[in-house]
Amino acid sequence: MDNPEVKLVVLLLLSGVAWSATGGGGGGQTSASFNNNYEITWGYDHVLLLNGGAEVQLSFDASSGSGFASKLSYGSGLISISMKLSNKAYTGGLVTTLFMSSNTNNHDELDIEILGHDIGQPYTIQTNIFVNGVGGREQRITPWFDPSTDFHTYSILWNLRQVVFSIDNTPIRVFKNNQNIGVPYLTQPMQIITSLWNGDTWATDGGRSKMNYAYAPFDVQFEGFGINGCPVYNNDIQSCYSSQYWWNSPNYWQLSSTQQSAYDNVKRNYMNYNYCTDRSRYPTPPPECATQ
């Protein structure tokens, strides 16, 4: 079985623990209604509600991008949103984001950024992590699927032990709590945010492929607006690590053996950049790199 895509499918079928929106018992599940959980934050005339509000479409063109965000901030949980990316032949410079941010000066942030592509080239999916305002932890993969032909679910699991980025329940990034070796960890409640914006100074081919508005508008559809999260009202997230929330149980402290195999397959076959191995930026790898 030499085809990495076939290996990945088999690993997923064998997976014993799927981190899905159904969870594993305990509190935290909110309604799946967009209007209950989210609100449009900018580009109001570039947002459409489709299928009776079950889907939301964000658009980007020369006049504006658009975005929406959760009404509340959260201190732990599993956030998941399904997206179908723009199917235009050229999306150079376009950045589609799903991220969590504390929106503070020394912010915590968990990023999924899908970077636009040149003609005939695939999308790139970048993740990054900011703690106390410090980022520089980029990893990039080439997806094993075309994100513009169907909906795929992008997820971020966050608890006291680890952060796991996943696509369709396949882990693509793990960031452990390594405070014991001096690595800062997330301490601030974060809002869930999506957006379409122009990142052509860096996003595609290192900024060489610029935004081409002849292909606009660029439309991205979103669905799946339920939130498995611990809402925070007073900036104290300690209660969000309670065992009453299923994502804080021992099953979610580390990957299962099958999930680890799927994750290793992603790193081996689909990862094309890892800050941990970029010696031009980090002659000495950051300490967390030994455990990721």
* Cα three-residue angle 158-111-174, rounded to 5 degrees: 50
In angstroms, what is the C-alpha Rg of the chain? 18
Q: Residue 167: is it exposed, middle or buried by C-beta count within 10 angstroms (0-12/13-18/19+)? A: buried
Catalytic residue status for 109: yes
Residues 55, 109, 223, 288: which is the catalytic one? 109
User: Are 96 and 65 contacting, i.e. CB atoms less than 8 angstroms apart?
Assistant: no
Query: Alpha-carbon distance 220 to 198, whole Å?
Result: 14
Residues 5, 55, 113, 138: which is the catalytic one? 113
How many CA atoms are closer than 13 Å to the CA of 247, on its beta-carbon side? Answer: 29
Give which of 108, 74, 100 is closest to 241, Cα–Cα: 74
Per-residue tokens: 72 = 């509340």
CA distances from 213 to 60, 97, 141, 217 (A): 9, 19, 26, 7
* Cα three-residue angle 230-234-238, rounded to 5 degrees: 55
How many CA atoms are closer than 13 Å to the CA of 202, on its beta-carbon side? Answer: 5
DSSP 137-172: --EEE--SS-TTSS-EEEEEEE-SSEEEEEETTEEE
Query: Alpha-carbon distance 233 to 189, whole Å?
Result: 9
Catalytic positions, written as ranges: 109, 113
